[in-house]
Amino acid sequence: MLNNFYHFFQANGKISMEEMESLKSLYHREEVKKGDFLLREGGHCHHTFFVESGLIRMYAIDGQGKEHIVQFACENWLLSDRSSAYFDESSDYFIDAIEDSVVVMLDKGFVDGIIEVNPSFQRINERLLHNHIRHLQKRIHGLMAETAEERYLEFINLYPDLTLRVPQWMMASYLGVTPESLSRVRRDLAKRNFKSY
């Protein structure tokens, strides 16, 4: 049963269970094991991924073989390479599972399908997209202008439970710092009696 998936669209989009059932041809459930790939660099992204349970990530690998994590997606998060999915470009990214996960694969026509059965969703979807863009802009600003500590505190705010689920090197990759720098940040925060590190 896709309880989180249905609840997400009922809560955020006012989409009824009957409307979701009518769109069943536009989404399907997949179980992915830790380490399984949903997308590889050079491939084409044909879906948006909704995480019903588990944890996935999107990342690029540079010319020196170093990983750069762009986004994590845990329960109730959506993830996609939009350049590939909506502009038919080869992907620059990998998307894989950090944990055993259940992922709902949304076809490109899914949003149009919702709008067809429930036209009010168009305005809701615009707000969701603007919120996503807002987070991307904050992330870019953080990488350019914030200290490692400020970025780490923002990470905790955005992903409150992931410090217990993600290896430190992955957190460091997402934050754009070395694992050693992240260790120093966490140590300094602990010394100042920061309780949520």
Q: Which fold has domain 3-119?
A: Jelly Rolls (2.60.120)
The Cα–Cα gap between 151 and 155 comes to 6
Q: How many CB atoms lie within 10 A of CB 18?
A: 8
Instruction: Show Cβ contacts of residue 180 under 8 Å, excluding neighbours closer than 6 positions.
Output: none
Judged by DSSP in three states, 45 sits in coil
pLDDT on residue 13: 85
pLDDT tens digits for 4-34? Answer: 999 999 998 889 999 999 999 999 999 999 9
Q: Which of 105, 101, 106 is nearest to 31 (CA)?
A: 101
pLDDT tens digits for 41-56? Answer: 999 999 999 999 999 9
Q: What's at 85, amino acid-wise?
A: A
Q: What is the model's pTM? A: 0.91
* Percent of residues, the chain, with pLDDT higher than 70: 97
pLDDT at residue 89 greater than cutoff 50 = yes
Average pLDDT, integer, range 110-133: 93
Residue extents of the structural domains in the chain: 3-119
* Percent of residues, the chain, with pLDDT higher than 90: 88
Q: What's at 46, amino acid-wise?
A: H
Would you call 55 exposed, middle or buried from its count of C-beta atoms within 10 A (0-12, 13-18, 19+)?
A: buried
